[in-house]
Structure 1
Amino acid sequence: MKVMAIGNLQPLTEAQWVQQVPAEIPPALRLYLEARMEQFWHRAANTGVIFVINVSSADEADCLLKTLPLRVAALRTFDLMPVGPQTPLGQLLHTSPGLRVQAGSNTLTVISEPQFDQVRLQK
């Protein structure tokens, strides 16, 4: 299971930034090297981060995130969102005989051959 953790950073003073932010890097990097944290993204305007975490539950993700220094110092909170594959897309591969799927470089087109109706899905 994957959990998207959307971090919200409290406004930091310069002293807090200098003290807390460098301390956050080693434990976050350790989670990445242990393949627990699959991706990490920076949110615009220094409002926080987004982590994609490999765990068995949202509770496990919360436990991992509670070890990070900014969370320990109550300077960051996380909204946790379990995510998974877009399973309805698999149904397009097994469409009825009257439908066919065309894949382009940036689009997926479903064509209903009898009526030639098209639905375009952008990547």
Structure 2
Amino acid sequence: MRLLIDMNLSPRWVGVLKEAGIEASHWSTLGAPDAPDPVIMAYAAEHDCVVLTHDLDFGAMLAATQGDKPSVVQIRAEDVNPNAIGTQVVAALRQMATELEAGALLTIDTKRTRLRLLPLQVNR
């Protein structure tokens, strides 16, 4: 699994994830810092990356497009510092690796982790 870390998360996530044996790159080393979310999603899909973000827009894009890739991991915590929630994120990534490889939206907060397989089904 390869992770693409969104601009709204610290580049320090790269070191935390690499130390855990997870390949990761921060968007700031790959593209324009002000690139719109669809550009980041397209890059992630083209390069078979999972997007790690603190932004709800990526999940909304998956729902709106009924997309099946790329997978998105949303950190939904007030403190998104890797020192605060890094252990929980790494554990969730390891536990859900198969689903993320296949296509999933993983939401991690301090109390729980939720997984939805892609494409997301809109409740009617």
TM-score (normalizing by structure 2): 0.24
TM-score (normalizing by structure 1): 0.24
Which structure carries more helix by proportion? 2
Which one has the largest radius of gyration? 1
